[in-house]
Amino acid sequence: MSIETVPDSGYYSISNVSVQSSITTATDDTVSIQKMPDYTYFRSLWWTEGNIHPEAKWEEAKLPYVLVEGVTLEEYERRTDEFNVHGLWEWTNYKVSVYELPLKPHETCISAIIKYFNKSCGDADDTNARIIGFGATRTRDDNSGKEADASFRPRKPRVPAPSGSDGENEPWPNIVVEVACSESIDHVFEKVKNYWLMDFSRVHDAIVIKIDPVPENRMPSRMQAWHFCSRNRIRRGADLPHRTHFEFGTHDGAGNPLNIPRGVCLIKIDLDCLYYQARSDVRIPRHILPDPIVLDFSIIREEIFYAYDV
């Protein structure tokens, strides 16, 4: 690593990243060195080294945060694989942005939903109608690359290139899950409406979870869920309204306590949506799976809270 002084700037140039140096101030008898906090360099270490540095103070960053510019999609994908970063960065028009942080509520919620969804579809596991989990498999289109937190689909035929989820002929998932903790709800809605469910050639249904941020190791209290289905888009280019929205935490946005029993906070996925455009030899297993698949988010809440009972 090379370190050079940028003349008259108060900055060091370290591996092509500018970082503000200390500022020297004179007093009557001494010279004091004052550190001026600039987190640009420390945040850049996530990109250059895969290091979430404690001095980066990511908890104070306004997301989405532009991590680096002038990066090809291929280089972005190489770095995400090298540093095992999935569901946290996205690539758009040669910019890599951080839109989510790997916080405990975010990760435990994803785990709980995957576990519950797999169990709900488990009776089809020994058939050719089994549902496959693709996790945070990357997707790409002409000018962006994104990863859901979880994704599911049956076996589907390949599609004409370049309309596939890989920019070639890989079919898109039918269900995606997006969990937002640090991420703003506006940002995740934009992804759902204008990327995942942009039209019927992509994802069919999306589940969005918003967990309000809490201090480290404190149990989350406000949690919301939305269900979007492409069938609710009235016409091409029209806004996509949500099909379902509810609070399923212990408190609402005003801090009022909630006491929500099982059987109230439900998202229902029709089998026709789950098996949309499945291969011709895959028959919808209506005699095996319930229609719709019902996800009770009080169970998701319990699973998240178990992670805090250490």
pLDDT digits 0-9 by tens, 184-234 = 999 999 999 999 999 999 999 999 999 999 998 899 999 999 999 999 998
Segment (H or E) for 31: strand 31-34
30-54 pLDDT, tens per residue? Answer: 333 344 357 899 999 999 999 999 9
**What architecture (CATH level 2) is domain 104-306?**
Alpha-Beta Complex (3.90)
CA distance 114 to 131: 12
Q: Are 88 and 99 in contact (CB under 8 A)?
A: yes
* Mean pLDDT (whole number) for 128-134: 98
CB count within 10 Å of CB 14 equals 15
Beta-bridge partner residues of 6 = 11
Beta-bridge partner residues of 34 = 23
pLDDT at 237 (0 to 100): 76
50-104 pLDDT, tens per residue? Answer: 999 999 999 999 999 999 999 999 999 999 999 999 999 999 999 999 999 999 9
Q: What is the residue-averaged pLDDT of the chain?
A: 89
pLDDT at 143 (0 to 100): 84
Is residue 19's pLDDT more than 50? no
Beta-bridge partner residues of 178 = 208
pLDDT at 292 (0 to 100): 99
* Mean pLDDT (whole number) for 4-16: 37
pLDDT at 223 (0 to 100): 99
Is residue 5's pLDDT more than 80? no
132-172 pLDDT, tens per residue? Answer: 999 999 999 878 999 999 999 999 999 999 999 999 999 99
* Mean pLDDT (whole number) for 289-303: 98
Token pair listed for 244: 């379902």
Q: Are 95 and 101 in contact (CB under 8 A)?
A: no
pLDDT-derived band at 3, boundaries 50, 70, 90 = very low
pLDDT at 225 (0 to 100): 99
pLDDT at 100 (0 to 100): 96
User: Which contacts of 59-66 are long-range, i.e. CB under 8 A and separated by 24 or more positions?
Assistant: 59/101, 61/98, 63/98, 63/99, 63/100, 63/101, 63/182, 63/183, 63/184, 63/187, 64/90, 64/97, 64/98, 64/99, 64/183, 64/187, 65/97, 65/98, 65/99, 66/95, 66/96, 66/97
pLDDT-derived band at 310, boundaries 50, 70, 90 = confident
pLDDT at 216 (0 to 100): 87
Rg, C-alpha atoms of the chain:
23
Which 3 state secondary structure label does DSSP give 33?
A: strand
CATH 3.90.1570 boundaries in the chain: 104-306
